C-alpha cells in the first residue's frame, strides 16, 4: 500500500479492477453489500461498492471505507483512478 488503479463502472453500484493473476480468496455470501465494502469477486476482480443492496453472489471481504458518506458522488459514473491506503 498504497495501491493506485484505474477502476471501471459496473451495474450503477460498483467500481471494479481485474488483476492479471488470481489472489487468495475465502469467499462467502454476505447477504447484503454495504456502501464502502471492498471485496474480491472470483479470484481476480477487486470491487468497491458505492451503494448497498442484497446479493446472492460470493465475495472475499478485504475491508471497508470507514466513512462512505458521499462515496457515490466522489466516484462518479465512469472510469476513475483510485488510490487505496491503510489507515492507522
Q: Is residue 34 part of a domain?
A: yes
Give how far Cα 50 sits from Cα of 8, 13, 23, 24, 86, Å: 13, 5, 22, 24, 19
Domain of residue 40, CATH code: 2.40.100.20
Strand boundaries in 1-88, DSSP class E: 3-10, 14-18, 32-33, 37-41, 45-49, 53-54, 60-64, 80-84
For residue 88, what pLDDT is reported?
A: 64
Mean pLDDT of 18-23: 96
Computed over every residue of the chain, the mean pLDDT equals 94
* Per-residue pLDDT tens over the stretch 54-78: 999 999 999 999 899 999 999 998 9
User: Could you tell me the pTM of the whole model?
Assistant: 0.91
For 75, phi then psi, to 5°, come to -80, -30
| The pLDDT of residue 85 | 83
Cell reading at 65: 471505507
| 20 pLDDT above the threshold of 80 | yes
Structural domains in the chain (count): 1
Measured in whole angstroms, the distance separating CA 17 from the mean position of its chain's CA atoms is: 8
Query: What range does the domain containing 57 cover?
Result: 3-83
> Does a structural domain hold residue 88?
no
| pLDDT of res. 48 | 96
Amino acid at each position: 500500500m498504497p495501491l493506485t488503479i484505474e477502476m471501471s463502472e459496473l451495474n450503477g453500484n460498483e467500481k471494479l479492477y481485474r488483476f492479471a493473476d488470481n489472489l487468495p480468496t475465502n469467499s462467502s455470501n454476505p447477504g447484503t453489500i454495504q456502501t464502502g465494502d471492498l471485496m474480491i469477486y472470483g479470484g481476480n476482480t477487486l470491487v468497491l461498492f458505492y451503494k448497498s443492496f442484497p446479493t446472492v453472489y460470493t465475495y472475499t471481504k478485504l475491508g471497508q471505507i470507514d466513512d462512505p458518506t458521499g462515496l457515490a458522488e466522489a466516484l462518479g459514473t465512469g472510469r476513475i483512478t483510485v488510490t487505496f491506503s491503510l489507515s492507522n
